[in-house]
Structure 1
Amino acid sequence: PNPVKDMLYIRINPALQSSSELKIFDSYGRLIRHTKLSGYSHALELRNLNKGLYYVNILNGHSVFIDKLVIIN
């Protein structure tokens, strides 16, 4: 759910899960986190991020998903 306090939970469509990547950018466009995803379900700890607006990009060979992420502390 959005906003996020400590953990971000992501589920990837099984048809799209091979070689997926997750990138989190801050509101200035700086890359904050880059993680390769494998499997269907993921839990990412985000406690170390300051509160504010971020952008989540999930990429694979077939598609790109982009969404806003609000961190609250």
Structure 2
Amino acid sequence: MLCEKLMFLQKTAKYRVSRRLMSGHHGGTAGENMPFRKCIGNPARGALMFSVFFGTAMFGPCLILIYLMHKD
């Protein structure tokens, strides 16, 4: 009995919290809920920035290694 009551209270609390969080969402266009949308503004600029930062992070260690191997 106690276990059933606790499960009911847990479900009720989860439902209320989720409804409260979702009530501020207005829906609309794709990508509206991106946390950094206002900083980037343009989707093409976002893709370019992602490519630059991701490319730097992946190719940077290779450049350092090549430099160290060619250094005399």
TM-score, normalised via structure 2 length: 0.17
Larger radius of gyration: 2
Write 1 or 2 for the structure with the bigger share of helix.
Answer: 2
TM-score, normalised via structure 1 length: 0.17
Q: Which has the higher contact order (CA 8 A, sep 6+)?
A: 1
